A and B are shown apart, each in its own frame.
Chain A
Amino acid sequence: MKAPRQGRLVALTLLALVLFSPPLLLLFDRPTDYGFSSLALVLYGCWAGLILLAAIVLEGRDAD
């Protein structure tokens, strides 16, 4: 059961790196209704989602 979890964590780390890096970020760097960039909201959302995924992978039933 160890190998799939390690693989998932590697994938998750890479996903985080991609989400937090410029090419994708530039897509979200658009003004919102309030005037400033939506980047902040997207970042916070991605961040929370990654934490949730990490919690699921790490605390999942096949953890041991």
Chain B
Amino acid sequence: MQTNWIVLTIAFSYLALLFVIAAWGDRRAEQGRSLVNSPTIYALSIAVYCTAWTFYGSVGRAATTGLSFLLIYLGPTLAMLSGWLVLRKMIRIARAQRITSIADFISARYGKSGGLGMLVALIAVIAIMPYIALQLKAITVSYGVLTEYPNLTPPDLSLQDFWNDKAFWVALVLAVFIILFGTRHLDASERHEGMVTAIAFESLVKLFAFIAVGLFVCFALYPGPSALMADAASMLPNLEQHFGLDQIPGGPLGWFGTLILATLAFITLPRQFQVLVVENVNEQHLRRACWLFPLYLLLINLFVIPIALAGMMGGMSEPDSFVLTLPLSAGLDALPLLVFIGGLSAATSMMIVETIALSTMVSNQLVMPLLLRWRSLHLDPSRDLSGWLLGIRRIAIIAILILGYLYHALIGEAYSLVTIGLVSFAAASQFAPALLLGLYWRGASRNGAAAGLLAGITVWAWTLLIPGFALSGWIPTDFIEQGPYGLTLLKPYALFGLEGWDIYTHSLFWSMLVNIGLLVSVSLFSRQTHMEQTQAALFTNALRPEAEMAAIWQGQANRQELFQLVQRYLGKAATVRLLGVEPLDRHDDSPATPAMLAAAEQGLTGALGSATARILINSVVRGEALDMDSILSILDNTSQTLEYNRRLEQKSNELSRISAELRGANDRLRELDRLKDEFLAMVSHELRTPLTSIRAFAEILNDAEAMEPEQRQHFLGIIVRESERLSRLIEEILDMARLESGRMTLSPERCDLSQLTRQAIEAVEQLFQQRGIRLESRLPDTPCPVIADPDRLQQVLINLLDNASKFAGTDTPRVFVDLTALKQRYEVHVEDNGPGIAVAEREKVFEKFHQIEAGHSDKARPQGTGLGLPISRGIINQQGGRLWVADPKTLTGACIVLALPSAPDETQEVSS
């Protein structure tokens, strides 16, 4: 027996240690060296499943109903074996959608339905809260055993002097702990690293304590396990009836029912969802947890049967306290204290996680939606609401713990509280159809889920909860025996005459029957909204890679409004981090990007739940909020037609584009064809002119028998000139054809433009003198290097000079050549003092066979082919230069400009 003070000091020191560990965990998380980022810690935190009810109760169940205690652990083992498939999907969805609780998860799955979230939260609060009371009761009872042994008096449970009840103070300390480590900040992910660290530590403590008792019983109290078994076989009567299936309530069927019940409840209990899904840091951690957690369960159950047997042989009265009374009866001091701490750790860890999970649900699914809809509250839009949120959650935490304590103090001995463990398992498992079917069946609809849940929980209440109330003595028990109003078909423990089953399997069967039945049938006969379809597709395809693309926001939202909205709930620092922008100018009305909207929704979902976040975001988004078609077309099979439509449209767009291109090409071809005809006509005309005169003069020479030798000479001269002209013309036509087909071969090299110009001037000098034209030039002394084919360039220059000479003025014909060096190029201006070229004509002179109407009175027509300038321009263009008609600078007539880019420096050229 221990004195009160020692026990109290150790118990509260243990709680203080939890504070230290949680603070350490949070500190490490802030430093970025997270402790929680380990699969082992994750597996240990899942062990919050083992509560005080199992810590003390397993041995009790083993002593009274045999192996049925094992079912509570075999169920989770089954769930964890399939965890890599099922839980991983839930974790991935929760991460993508920032899910914070099971109510949020189910609400998000069914189109972010606020009503469904509310229903789940309500069921959870009603069914799970008494479970917290059970933990407090375990603390009170174990404290009583520890301090009063061997005078075991049932603890005096009442509200009369609650300050003497240690459980009250434990609840108070836990409230402080949860508020400190559970509601420190509102972050996008509702993760509590410090808390998880403390929970993992507590899991180690309870495992250690239980194994210590087991070893003590097997090896200290008895010489070994087999000796213990042998003793038990000789001492205990009717042992052959122990630990068989017959001992299980309900026999083999009861065994199977409870196994399924534990499997489902393990996934759907709010605290399990919290540690399994919400607090998961990395889905890869699940890989180890899937076998490490079952191993933990195996270890903590290893000594249950030996302890139960030893207790029974010791003739002790309360099987639930065997764990404590066995070491106490041996006169030990330290071990009972360790066991007490183990039980305390099992109780506190459950209360901590359950309270956080419930308070998140209460604030996000129950209180906030109501507050936001309550117009008369006039929540000032500019006010910072993040404080409100935390406040609501803290109040919820305190309320949950106080209610839990009240349950414990007022009805602690009642039947309904004692059995609440499995009863709340049965309530939580009502979430399983909506949750699990929703993960794999896209057709599950909101109406179906709501109907199934409501019906399931009603059957649960009728077959478990209300009879429990009756057996606690609060209402008459007649209806259990005879059915309500004598309707025997509705007897709660034998619904529709189904008798001989244990109450849990019976309740599970009927509630699941109506739950799944309604979920499936209502879903099959109701239509899903767009939002439901989208969410259903996102949930069922969560493990597929294309689900990575989360909901896409469209529509218009003002960046400033969005920022203010998020800031109201999350505070400024978190908002800046979330949206990645600094607060903007008050009058800034730039639109928010879809990425910002998605981030804002996720952030708000993390703090408020998906349904509420949806309403809030909708309040600032104008227009269609979600691009349904784009998501559905990718994810939804039935909307594949949409995708096909889109593709068809794409194809037809493409086709019309191509046909427009073809039409354009056709037009160009027609134009070219027309030009070709024109060209042919012109070429034949041009060829015919000299040919005609040659033929005419040749015929004259042929026919004339006697002709003056002088005249004959003259005619022959004309024939020779016209033949030359003909061959020149053909030469030029060939050049033109080569240019146009791109087959003209140029051999560009580095040459000096000023030298080439000088050579060209020299070449035509004689001609100019003959024609009496004054040729002036201004050429720089320095070389003007260009990259060009020198022969062709010279051909162009001579052509230009020749043209100028033809059009120079009549009285004092002058031609002026000017070579200037500009920044990147050289320009050769060839001017004459002739009539010039009208602005409208300037581009036409570069057309084939275009000839300016002769302004010369003495020369009826210019002697040219009309191909000189087009060929010149083609050659210059091919060498990277330009040829155009400009306004004359020095003289008054025409001015043709030839520009060529300057060649790069020779040194550079060499080096490169």
Among B252, B287, B294, the residue within 8 A (CB) of A59 is B287
Asked if B229 is at the interface of the complex by the 8 Å CB criterion, the answer is: yes
| CB <8 Å contact, B288 and A47 | no
**Inter-chain contacts of A34 with B (CB < 8 A):** 229-230, 232-233, 239
Interface residue stretch chosen among B49-57, B79-87, B357-365, B435-443: B79-87
| CB <8 Å contact, B252 and A40 | no
**Inter-chain contacts of B84 with A (CB < 8 A):** 5-6, 9, 58
Whether A47 contacts B244 in the complex (CB less than 8 A), given A6-B85, A34-B229, A63-B287, comes out as no
Bound together, the chains give a CA A39 to CA B255 distance in angstroms of: 13
**Inter-chain contacts of B233 with A (CB < 8 A):** 34-36
Question: B800-839 vs A: 1/0 string, CB under 8 Å?
Answer: 0000000000000000000000000000000000000000
Ranked nearest first, the 3 interchain pairs of A and B with the lowest CB-CB distance are A22-B252, A37-B244, A54-B291
**Inter-chain contacts of A21 with B (CB < 8 A):** 255-256, 259
| CB <8 Å contact, A17 and B294 | no
Bound together, the chains give a CA A10 to CA B82 distance in angstroms of: 6
| CB <8 Å contact, A37 and B243 | yes
| CB <8 Å contact, A25 and B82 | no
CB proximity of B229 to chain A, nearest CB, Å: 5
Interface residue stretch chosen among B70-78, B166-174, B265-273: B70-78
Bound together, the chains give a CA A58 to CA B239 distance in angstroms of: 40
Which residues A1-49 have CB closer than 8 A to chain B? 5-6, 9-10, 12-13, 16-17, 20-22, 25-26, 29, 31, 34-37, 39-40, 43-44, 47-48
Asked if B28 is at the interface of the complex by the 8 Å CB criterion, the answer is: no
| CB <8 Å contact, B287 and A25 | no
**Inter-chain contacts of B259 with A (CB < 8 A):** 20-21
The contact size tier of chain B is 35 or more
| CB <8 Å contact, A12 and B243 | no
| CB <8 Å contact, A55 and B291 | yes
| CB <8 Å contact, B244 and A16 | no
**Inter-chain contacts of B85 with A (CB < 8 A):** 6, 9-10
Bound together, the chains give a CA A16 to CA B74 distance in angstroms of: 9
CB proximity of A54 to chain B, nearest CB, Å: 4
Among B74, B77, B80, B305, the residue within 8 A (CB) of A40 is B305
| CB <8 Å contact, A25 and B240 | no
Question: B236-262 vs A: 1/0 string, CB under 8 Å?
Answer: 000111111110000011011001000
| CB <8 Å contact, A9 and B81 | yes
| CB <8 Å contact, B74 and A39 | no
Asked if B290 is at the interface of the complex by the 8 Å CB criterion, the answer is: yes
Whether A39 contacts B243 in the complex (CB less than 8 A), given A20-B259, A22-B255, comes out as yes
| CB <8 Å contact, B232 and A44 | no
**Inter-chain contacts of A12 with B (CB < 8 A):** 81
| CB <8 Å contact, A39 and B67 | yes
| CB <8 Å contact, A36 and B242 | yes
| CB <8 Å contact, A25 and B255 | yes
| CB <8 Å contact, A51 and B295 | yes
Whether A26 contacts B252 in the complex (CB less than 8 A), given A17-B78, A43-B67, A51-B295, comes out as yes
Having A21-B259, A26-B252, A39-B67, one finds 6 other A-B pairs with CB under 8 Å, namely A29-B245, A36-B243, A37-B240, A37-B244, A39-B244, A59-B291
**Inter-chain contacts of B240 with A (CB < 8 A):** 31, 35-37
Bound together, the chains give a CA A20 to CA B261 distance in angstroms of: 13
CB proximity of A40 to chain B, nearest CB, Å: 5
A sample of 29 cross-chain residue pairs with beta-carbon separation below 8 angstroms, ordered by A number, consists of: A5-B84, A6-B84, A6-B85, A10-B82, A13-B81, A13-B82, A16-B77, A16-B78, A20-B74, A21-B256, A35-B232, A36-B244, A37-B240, A37-B243, A37-B245, A39-B244, A39-B245, A40-B67, A40-B70, A43-B67, A44-B302, A50-B81, A51-B77, A54-B290, A54-B291, A58-B287, A58-B291, A59-B291, A63-B287
Asked if B524 is at the interface of the complex by the 8 Å CB criterion, the answer is: no
| CB <8 Å contact, B82 and A59 | no
CB proximity of B222 to chain A, nearest CB, Å: 13
| CB <8 Å contact, A9 and B67 | no
Bound together, the chains give a CA A42 to CA B230 distance in angstroms of: 19
| CB <8 Å contact, B67 and A58 | no
Whether A22 contacts B256 in the complex (CB less than 8 A), given A34-B230, A39-B244, A55-B291, comes out as yes
| CB <8 Å contact, B242 and A13 | no
| CB <8 Å contact, B288 and A59 | yes
| CB-nearest residue of chain A to B229 | A34
Bound together, the chains give a CA A16 to CA B288 distance in angstroms of: 18
| CB <8 Å contact, A37 and B242 | yes
Bound together, the chains give a CA A43 to CA B67 distance in angstroms of: 10
**Inter-chain contacts of A29 with B (CB < 8 A):** 244-246
Bound together, the chains give a CA A36 to CA B303 distance in angstroms of: 16
Question: B435-474 vs A: 1/0 string, CB under 8 Å?
Answer: 0000000000000000000000000000000000000000
**Inter-chain contacts of A37 with B (CB < 8 A):** 240, 242-245
| CB <8 Å contact, A9 and B82 | yes
Bound together, the chains give a CA A16 to CA B75 distance in angstroms of: 10
CB proximity of B606 to chain A, nearest CB, Å: 30
Bound together, the chains give a CA A9 to CA B290 distance in angstroms of: 10
Bound together, the chains give a CA A48 to CA B652 distance in angstroms of: 64
Asked if B475 is at the interface of the complex by the 8 Å CB criterion, the answer is: no
| CB <8 Å contact, A22 and B253 | yes
Bound together, the chains give a CA A54 to CA B230 distance in angstroms of: 34
| CB-nearest residue of chain A to B62 | A40
Whether A16 contacts B239 in the complex (CB less than 8 A), given A22-B252, A36-B244, A63-B287, comes out as no
| CB <8 Å contact, A58 and B290 | yes
Asked if B852 is at the interface of the complex by the 8 Å CB criterion, the answer is: no
Question: B608-650 vs A: 1/0 string, CB under 8 Å?
Answer: 0000000000000000000000000000000000000000000
Whether A20 contacts B298 in the complex (CB less than 8 A), given A36-B239, A36-B240, A55-B291, comes out as no
CB proximity of A23 to chain B, nearest CB, Å: 8
**Inter-chain contacts of B70 with A (CB < 8 A):** 40, 43
Bound together, the chains give a CA A34 to CA B246 distance in angstroms of: 18
| CB <8 Å contact, A22 and B245 | yes
| CB-nearest residue of chain A to B80 | A54
CB proximity of A3 to chain B, nearest CB, Å: 12
Whether A25 contacts B252 in the complex (CB less than 8 A), given A54-B294, A58-B290, comes out as yes
| CB <8 Å contact, B74 and A47 | yes
Bound together, the chains give a CA A29 to CA B305 distance in angstroms of: 16
| CB-nearest residue of chain B to A40 | B243
Bound together, the chains give a CA A52 to CA B74 distance in angstroms of: 15
Bound together, the chains give a CA A63 to CA B243 distance in angstroms of: 39
Of B84, B259, B298, most A-chain CB atoms within 10 Å: B84
Bound together, the chains give a CA A5 to CA B84 distance in angstroms of: 10
Bound together, the chains give a CA A48 to CA B232 distance in angstroms of: 25
CB proximity of A58 to chain B, nearest CB, Å: 5
Bound together, the chains give a CA A16 to CA B302 distance in angstroms of: 19
**Inter-chain contacts of A47 with B (CB < 8 A):** 74, 77, 294, 298
| CB <8 Å contact, A50 and B243 | no
CB proximity of B497 to chain A, nearest CB, Å: 23
| CB <8 Å contact, A54 and B242 | no
| CB <8 Å contact, B287 and A51 | no
Which residues B700-743 have CB closer than 8 A to chain A? none
**Inter-chain contacts of A48 with B (CB < 8 A):** 298
